[in-house]
Amino acid sequence: MINNKTFLAIIPARGGSKRLPDKNILDLAGKPLISWSINAAIKSKYIDKVMVTTDSDEIMEVAQKYGAEVPFKRPDYLATDMAIRPDVIKHTINFYKNKNKEKFDYIIFLQPTSPLRNERHIDKAIEYMFKKNADAMVSVCEVEHPVQWSGLLPDNKDMSDFLNDLDVKSRSQDFPIHYRLNGAIFICDSRKFMEFGCMFLKKNIFAYTMPQNVSIDIDTKIDFILARIMLENKS
């Protein structure tokens, strides 16, 4: 709790990962992937409750072992490839409101695929949100390569119009800094979320910038290997 405001951390962990099977409970540097996010949320100074929403009995067991609350098994319609984040969050908010008679001022959405995000990042993001008097805060990092050096290719791979003359002649350090979502932290006022049905509000939303080296979002085997190397070699 901060400024008498309560926080519910929601960690989503569907069992049906396609690119990296069972990734949420794969051993990463000595413990299951999802446990890194659970531990970070539990260690936060401001988060009041940490819960995992999942359709998997195995993930439920692992999440509870590491200290998260798992008050329900996610219904089938929220466990498909077509299920979207806002519906999962709404289902969770309504569960606590209707079943447990609990309301939280803010929702903080922590994807288990960001194991390098720790409690310090979470707390700093929350503090920055209050400093900005914002309704929402989303974590970002600098893009790894200039966006000006990317583009679309036609089927025949013709690169004649891939870059403009300025981009061809420019050095990477001459381009303005661009940022991307890194998937680590999403925070939103609960009432605003229920009103607009989205954590990415149209106004009064700000970015919390994180370093690239803690912004790995695991989606592939290569991401997993990189995260393992980073965790095993952190000082």
Question: Around Cβ 47, how many Cβ atoms within 10 Å?
Answer: 24
Nearest alpha carbon to residue 42 among 133, 123, 124, 102: 123
- 91 domain residue, yes or no: yes
- 159 domain residue, yes or no: no
- 54 domain residue, yes or no: yes
Q: At what angle do helices 119-131 and 33-43 cross, to 10 degrees?
A: 50
Q: What is the pTM of this model?
A: 0.91
- 87 domain residue, yes or no: yes
Which residue range forms the structural domain that includes residue 51? 7-143+178-232
The pLDDT value recorded for residue 168 is 58
The pLDDT value recorded for residue 117 is 97
Could you give the CA distance from residue 207 to residue 181 in angstroms, rounded to a whole number?
Answer: 9
pLDDT of the chain, 235 residues: tens digit per residue: 788 999 999 999 988 777 788 899 999 999 999 999 999 999 999 999 999 999 999 999 999 999 999 999 999 899 888 889 999 999 999 999 998 788 999 999 999 999 999 999 999 999 999 999 999 999 999 998 878 778 888 899 998 888 766 555 566 677 788 999 999 999 999 999 999 999 999 999 999 999 999 999 999 999 999 999 999 987 5
Could you give the CA distance from residue 11 to residue 13 in angstroms, rounded to a whole number?
Answer: 7
The pLDDT value recorded for residue 235 is 53
> Kind of pairing, strands 49-53 and 7-12?
parallel
- 79 domain residue, yes or no: yes
Nearest alpha carbon to residue 56 among 79, 83, 85: 79
- 172 domain residue, yes or no: no
Contact between 17 and 80 under an 8 Å Cβ cutoff? The reply is no
Could you give the CA distance from residue 92 to residue 74 in angstroms, rounded to a whole number?
Answer: 9
**Max Cα separation, the chain?**
61
The pLDDT value recorded for residue 22 is 87
Sheet containing 49-53: order of strands: 49-53, 7-12, 106-109, 179-189, 136-142, 205-209
| Secondary-structure percent of the chain, ordered helix, strand, coil, rounded to 5 | 35, 20, 45
The pLDDT value recorded for residue 234 is 75
- 59 domain residue, yes or no: yes
The pLDDT value recorded for residue 128 is 97
Contact between 116 and 213 under an 8 Å Cβ cutoff? The reply is yes
What is the CA angle 118-126-46, rounded to 5?
75
**Total domains in the fold of the chain:** 1
The CATH code of the domain that includes 50 is: 3.90.550.10
CA torsion angle for 187, 190, 196, 202 (degrees, to 10)? -40
